[in-house]
Amino acid sequence: MACLAPLCPNDILFCPAILLILPHRRYGMDGSVVACTLLGTACGVVTGLVPGIHVNTAAPLAVALASNRGIAPLPASSFICALSLTHTFIDFIPTTLLGIPSEDTAVAALPAHRMVLMGRGLEAIRLSGLASLFAVVSLVICVYPSLALIRGGYPLVKAAIPFVLVVVLVRMIASHGTWRRMGMAALVVALSGVFGWAVLAGPVWGPDPLFPVFSGMFGISTLLISMRGTRSAPPQSLDAELQAGRCEMLCSMAQGTLAGSCVALIPGIGASQAALLVVRPRGHDPMRGYICSCCAINTANALFALMVLQVGGAARNGALVHVQRLLGTITPSTFHALLAVMCLAAGLAYPLLMALARLLIPAVSRVSYRRLSLVGIVFQGILVCVLSGIQGALLCAVATAVGLLPALMGVHRSTVMAFLLIPVLSFYT
């Protein structure tokens, strides 16, 4: 297994980023857009580091601020895009160091935690950052062929959505192996789906019920589970040299980039479902391969969804829903501006990721999991009550109970994503 020499991913990203940013006046990029991009990157660091905080928490605040303060739609949209892309880089830090995954990094949590137990946490984080950068560079290079493929294939994909969703649900259950575990997984899928249908079928729960639901389902429930563990991580090496074969790593990144792009076309399917369906690392080091594939999926999904929005007018994640509300129709010039924003955010996110990782790695072995988890639970509870009221608190409590089911029944965490899959399936059938 060959060891890779230290790479310079920012140099790789520099050329496509500059090619897009140089003609900024042509695409309407001015100082306010750049300033909002930098602010969005900073907020993406915060949402990525704080367990349980999702991009959808900050995006509505940006829309409200834009309407109240008279900020133009493009700068406000730039803030959201920079925030969402930076989040995909930074949220792997709590997943790796604290064993607290988000819904998008859940599949990669176990391999990352194994690397922490081997003292290779910094390498795991560097792998995640390189995979995310690979996804950005690959999609930027292939942006025009990708747009052409979306235009030609989107109608066919749209027609096949019900079939794809059924396949995902079946695969989600069948991946558990034994009949007993498959039965447990089917039960979790059914309960999550009924809960999702009840919440999303009507406006009784307010205009934005997803924030309290995901806060409970993936935030508070995860923190409650992590409170059971009192084991501290072993001392971590500050050597970030990649102990992975070059071809194996690049193949895993390419696999993840392709998968993340494909699922961006399909509503209700996120990064964790894509990883569950297609990630099959080959070679001698599947642990590192999983990390590369899953992180590439996460970032590629965020970036490719912008292309889908420009071509098909369909927002495939919560952040782009708010971008669509701000901008309406995404013109070619606006699309290029937002693509440049996301490139700039990626170029900033990687060094921030590594700087934060080197700062936090030495303290990992001294972290009290129980105390940190308790602080996160209280913080999330207060945030839900303030932003969503009593109804939101009730939704969050039920979602927390649903989020605990996979751990209690010994099934994959991604099964609770039937909360979205089944309502979407009922809509298309």
pLDDT tens-digit map of 181-217: 999 999 999 999 999 888 887 666 665 677 788 778 8
**Residue ranges making up the domain that contains 164:** 12-232+244-428
- 6 within some domain: no
Q: Give the model's pLDDT for residue 353.
A: 92
- 2 within some domain: no
- For residues 17 and 343, the answer to whether their CB atoms sit within 8 Å is yes
- 237 within some domain: no
- 371 within some domain: yes
Write phi, then psi, for 23 (nearest 5 degrees): -85, 45
Token look-up 């399936």 returns: 425
- 238 within some domain: no
Query: How far apart, in whole angstroms, are the C-alpha atoms of residue 69 and residue 95?
Result: 35
Can you list the residues of the chain whose pLDDT is less than 50?
1-11, 13-15, 18-19, 22-23, 230
Q: Give the model's pLDDT for residue 384.
A: 82
Contacts of 245 (CB under 8 A, 6+ apart): 1, 2, 283, 284, 285
| Count of domains observed in the chain | 1
- 4 within some domain: no
- 1 within some domain: no
- 96 within some domain: yes
Query: How far apart, in whole angstroms, are the C-alpha atoms of residue 313 and residue 330?
Result: 8
